[in-house]
Structure 1
Amino acid sequence: MSTETEPLLSVRGLTKHFPVRQGLRTTGAVRAVDGLDFDVRPGETLGLVGESDITHAGRGELRGLRQDLQIIFQDPYASLNPRHTVGRIVAMPLQVNRITPPGGVKKRVQELLELVGLNPEHYNRYPHEFSGGQRQRIGIARALALKPKLIVADEPVSALDVSIQAQVINLLRSLQQDLDLAFVFIAHDLAVVRHFCHRVAVMYLGKIVEIGDRDDIYTRPQHPYTRALLSAIPDVTTLGPAGRIRLTGDVPTPLNPPSGCRFRTRCWKATDRCATEEPALTTRDDGRQQTACHYPENEPTSSREDAAVGATPDPGSNERT
């Protein structure tokens, strides 16, 4: 996909802190998202691996975006009102935005149900009459009602049986191709992300530590945290014989993240510089990959690095590979 296309969504400096209170006093803040920059282009899928929250805009700010940007929620059991029929659920975006499609609302809803693989005659059924996978298809139909350009998919298959996950992912891919949709795909399952996403952004403690094309991220991870995550995927052959990287050291809290590099307390490459200087997200190699690390993994399959990883290195070690 060309990177010269004008972005459909451009995010700069996105921050979301949740206040922590004791009684009536605010004692701190959880830095869930702490300054994100990313773009999403038409027809593209950007996978966000890790925590995120882009719904911080106020009601007035969001009103103009709703038709172009929709969301698919994680839990198909909790995201559908059990008191409403499927027809009413899918029609709700049209009614709220006072849109009357050609042929009427009912016809449009039945077309959407058929588009996501459901029987349009089930218009008057209730959510409890459907399986989890079918309910998620209802949620997808609702998201498509306003013909959006971009859909935020928040862990859309994590609550489904493994046997159903592939069906829903394949449906999303088909819809993307047919409708020229862009996705922000939030997930923790790296195998699903690799199957569905064009580009991947890896987050740690609210920061993007690496972002790039899918193939580059999965075959040439440059940030130590990315490499550790990928090593946990079964049958990853690009990491050499050392196998899985088991992170040790202190697990930081988002209430008080470490100074400098936030990953340094668990990183086998950490030095004094990592504690005092926060690494910027810097373009590496051919420009398709950005990494926030002072000592990136430029040679992920080198024998020296494999030896260091195989030894489950001390996170406070000054060793660099």
Structure 2
Amino acid sequence: MSTEPLLRVRGLSKHFPVRDGFRSGGLVRAVDGLDFEVWPGQTLGLVGESGCGKSTTGRMLVRLLEPTAGSIEFAGRDITHCGRRDLRSLRQDLQIIFQDPYASLNPRHTVGRIVAMPLQVNGITPPGGVRARVRELLELVGLNPEHYNRYPHEFSGGQRQRVGIARALALRPRLIVADEPVSALDVSIQAQVVNLLRDLQRDLGLAFVFIAHDLAVVRHFCHRVAVMYLGRVVEIGDRDDIYQRPQHPYTRALLSAIPDITRLGPAGRIRLTGDVPTPLNPPSGCRFRTRCWKARDICATEEPALTTRDGGTQSTACHFPESGPLAVPGPEAVEEVPT
């Protein structure tokens, strides 16, 4: 592994203003101070509940959204506020796969034109011509090159997502942000697409930021995992550490929801009470404290820092982190969760 990360994020934030008529109604703190790195050839998984800021983070990484604060470094270059001219060259190294294969493809364009568009926009003529390169990309993602002149509506959901992957690969990028690329697909097709991404990563040396809420898919594909809650990273570490020895109560609650036929009965599930707080007015101190069974007075007054303990590689933002392997509490512990 390279000694320097390909992508380095520090203090990344995105706040959306809310207006009440002509007056300001405050700020939605969709993403509020993220720190993480991605190394070449590595996959970082971003997981969490819907609305925690995963997709907003992904769009900031590829500069589809302008960050409110913080910095994004790609290959040692600060790209946080790149202009349009600089972004054009950046697109060759940094691409995105969108969540919905039905909405991300122009229905008026053929598949050949869709995949060729990045090459044409950047004025790139590959050896053998654009048409030959597009056919090569279609074959690379498991599609028939003869489908060059077909339209998106003639393909299934899984095939459309493969077209989106081919488009992302057209410029030979170094890092791809995959924004829930399998969540809109049938379960039987999800495994095929994830295995395709793994093969492409191995053959092309790609790095991924893989955004998902399916923890089983993340465990299969990602090397490192960052768990997000209400715009913050609450735990980050190697995949095995996160899944086998989670330290943050929220991570433990997420993992307890994974179906497991070896764990029977209702006692195996940590059921969080209450609703996720609004990002318009997040709780003071630890944002998870209103749903945490370990919350104490300090959790309301002091925000926990993302800290690495005992010289390990796993960092947790919690005043009272768990230790040891995952041990799901019984119903009596879960009933004490404050609302």
Structure 2 residues not aligned, in runs of 5+: 67-80
Residue 236 of structure 1 deviates from its aligned partner by 8.0
Amino acid of the structure 2 residue aligned with 1:306: P
Alignment partner, residue 9 of structure 1: 7
Match of 2:141 among 94, 97, 116: 116
Residue 316 of structure 1 deviates from its aligned partner by 3.4
CA 114–48 in structure 1, closer or farther in 2 if over 3 Å, else same: same
Q: How does 1:162-177 map to 2 (within 5 A)?
A: 162-177=187-202
How does the TM-score come out when normalised to structure 2? 0.87
Amino acid of the structure 2 residue aligned with 1:11: V
2:316 equivalent to 1:316: no
Work out the CA distance in 2 between the residues paired with 1:229 and 1:285: 24
Structure 1, 139-148 or 25-34: larger mean CA deviation: 25-34
Structure 1, 281-290 or 141-150: larger mean CA deviation: 281-290
Amino acid of the structure 2 residue aligned with 1:168: V
2:115 equivalent to 1:90: yes
Alignment partner, residue 17 of structure 2: 19
Amino acid of the structure 1 residue aligned with 2:232: K
Work out the CA distance in 2 between the residues paired with 1:114 and 1:38: 34
Amino acid of the structure 1 residue aligned with 2:128: G
Identity %: 80
How does the TM-score come out when normalised to structure 1? 0.92
2:259 equivalent to 1:234: yes
CA 250–122 in structure 1, closer or farther in 2 if over 3 Å, else same: closer
2:319 equivalent to 1:306: no
Match of 2:65 among 56, 60, 69: 56
For each residue in 1:266-298, what CA deviation from the matched residue of structure 2 results, as whole angstroms up to 9, or x when unmatched?
000001100000000000234210000000011
Work out the CA distance in 1 between the residues paired with 2:11 and 2:315: 16
Work out the CA distance in 1 between the residues paired with 2:261 and 2:323: 18
CA 301–7 in structure 1, closer or farther in 2 if over 3 Å, else same: closer
Alpha-carbon contact 1:33-1:207 (below 8 Å) kept: yes
RMSD: 2.0
Q: How does 1:149-168 map to 2 (within 5 A)?
A: 149-168=174-193
Work out the CA distance in 2 between the residues paired with 1:140 and 1:202: 25
Residue 21 of structure 1 deviates from its aligned partner by 1.5
Alignment partner, residue 256 of structure 1: 281
Match of 2:181, SS state, is: coil
Structure 1 residues not aligned, in runs of 5+: none
Alignment partner, residue 99 of structure 1: 124
Work out the CA distance in 2 between the residues paired with 1:301 and 1:86: 46
CA 236–68 in structure 1, closer or farther in 2 if over 3 Å, else same: farther
Alpha-carbon contact 1:19-1:26 (below 8 Å) kept: yes
Alpha-carbon contact 1:20-1:28 (below 8 Å) kept: yes
Work out the CA distance in 2 between the residues paired with 1:301 and 1:241: 16
Alignment partner, residue 78 of structure 1: 103
Alpha-carbon contact 1:219-1:238 (below 8 Å) kept: no
Work out the CA distance in 1 between the residues paired with 2:162 and 2:295: 45
Residue 20 of structure 1 deviates from its aligned partner by 1.2
Amino acid of the structure 2 residue aligned with 1:135: R
Alpha-carbon contact 1:249-1:315 (below 8 Å) kept: no
2:298 equivalent to 1:273: yes
Alpha-carbon contact 1:264-1:315 (below 8 Å) kept: no
Match of 2:329, SS state, is: helix
Aligned residue-pair number: 312
Alpha-carbon contact 1:127-1:135 (below 8 Å) kept: yes
